[in-house]
Structure 1
Amino acid sequence: MLSEVLLVSAPGKVILHGEHAVVHGKVALAVALNLRTFLRLQPHSNGKVGLNLPNIGIKRAWDVAKLQMLDTSFLKQGDVTALTPEQVEKLKEVAGFPEDCADHEHLAVLSFLHLYLSVCRSQRALPSLDVTVWSELPTGAGLGSSAAYSVCLAAALLTACKEIPNPLKDGEAASRWTEENLELINKWAFQGERVIHGNPSGVDNAVSTWGGALRYQQGKISSLKRPPALKILLINTKVPRSTKALVAGVRSRLLKFPEIVAPLLTSIDAISLECERVLGEMAAAPAPEHYLVLEILDQNVTGVWNLPWQRDTWCSGAERGPQKFSLPSSPRGR
Structure 2
Amino acid sequence: RALPSLDITVWSQLPTGAGLGSSAAYSVCMATALLTACEEIPNPRKDGESASRWTGEDLELINKWAFQGERMIHGNPSGVDNAVSTWGGVVRFQQGKISSLKRPPALRILLTNTKVPRSTKALVASVQSRLLKFPEIVSPLLTSINAISLECERMLGEMEAAPAPEHYLVLEELIDMNQHHLNALGVGHASLDQLCQVTMAHGLHSKLTGAGGGGCGITLLRPDLEQPEVEATKQALTDCGFDCWETSIGAPGISVHSAASLDAPVRQALDGL
TM-score w.r.t. structure 2 length? 0.67
Q: 1:254 to 1:180 in 2, by over 3 A?
A: farther
1:195 pairs with one of 57, 64, 72? 72
What is the Cα deviation at residue 256 of structure 1? 5.6
By how many angstroms is 1:260 displaced? 4.0
1:301-316 aligned at under 5 Å gives the runs 301-306=178-183, 307=188, 308=192, 309=208, 310-311=217-218, 312-316=244-248
Partner of 2:251, secondary structure, is coil
How has the CA–CA distance of structure 1 residues 258 and 157 changed in structure 2, closer, same or farther, with 3 Å as cutoff? farther
Counting helix residues as a fraction of each chain, which structure ranks higher?
2
Report the CA distance shift for 1:125/1:171 in structure 2 as closer, same or farther (over 3 A): same
Distance 2:39 2:252 in 1: 23
Cα deviations by residue, 1:222-250 (Å, 9 ceiling, x for unpaired): 33244334111211112233444444544
3-state SS in 1 of match to 2:10: strand
Percent identity of equivalent pairs? 74
Give the distance between the partners of 1:320 and 1:294, measured in 2 at CA.
Answer: 22
1:61-80 residue pairs with structure 2 within 5 A? none
- Aligned counterparts of 1:268 and 1:131: Cα–Cα separation in 2: 41
Residues 260 and 126 (structure 1), Cα distance of their counterparts in 2 relative to 1, 3 Å cut: farther
- Equivalents in 2 of 1:160, 1:242: separation in Å? 36
Alignment partner of 1:168 is 2:100: no
Alignment of 1:148 onto 2:25: yes
1:227, 1:279 within 8 Å by CA — same for their partners in 2? Answer: yes
- Find the residue that maps to 1:234 and give its secondary structure: strand
Matched, 1:269 2:129: no
Return the offset for 1:153. 0.7
Q: Which residue of 2 aligns with 1:9?
A: none
What's 2:270 paired with?
331
Give the alignment's Cα RMSD to 1 decimal. Answer: 2.7
Deviation digits for residues 43-63 of structure 1 (CA, Å, limit 9, x no counterpart)? xxxxxxxxxxxxxxxxxxxxx
1:17-64 residue CA offsets vs partner (Å, 9 max, x unmatched): xxxxxxxxxxxxxxxxxxxxxxxxxxxxxxxxxxxxxxxxxxxxxxxx
Residue of 279, 283, 293 corresponding to 2:156 = 279
Kindly tell me the number of residue pairs found equivalent between the two proteins. 211
Q: Aligned equivalents of 1:248 and 1:280: distance in 2?
A: 33
Give the secondary-structure state (helix, strand or coil) at the position aligned to 1:331.
Answer: helix
The alpha-carbon deviation at position 151 of structure 1 amounts to 0.5
Whether 2:228 is the aligned partner of 1:228: answer no
Deviation at 1:269, TM superposition (A): 1.0
Match among 233, 249, 253 for residue 317 of structure 1: 249
* Equivalent of residue 183 in structure 1, options 46, 54, 60: 60
Shift of 1:135: 0.4
CA distance in 1, matches of 2:3, 2:126: 39
Summarize deviations over 1:81-138 as a string: whole Å, max 9, x none: xxxxxxxxxxxxxxxxxxxxxxxxxxxxxxxxxxxxxxxxxxx456532212110111
Whole-angstrom CA distance in 2 between matches of 1:133 and 1:303? 38
Distance in 1 (alpha carbons) for counterparts of 2:112 and 2:100: 26
Amino acid at match of 2:109: I
Secondary structure at the counterpart of residue 114 of structure 2 = coil
The residue number in structure 2 matching 1:78 is none
Paired residue secondary structure (1:131): coil
Higher strand share: 1
Q: Offset at 1:210?
A: 0.7
Return the alpha-carbon distance in structure 1 between the equivalents of residues 64 and 129 of structure 2.
Answer: 27
Q: Which residue of 1 aligns with 2:200?
A: none
Task: Please point out which of 135, 143, 152 is paired with 2:12.
Answer: 135
Aligned partners of 1:244 and 1:163: how far apart in 2?
36
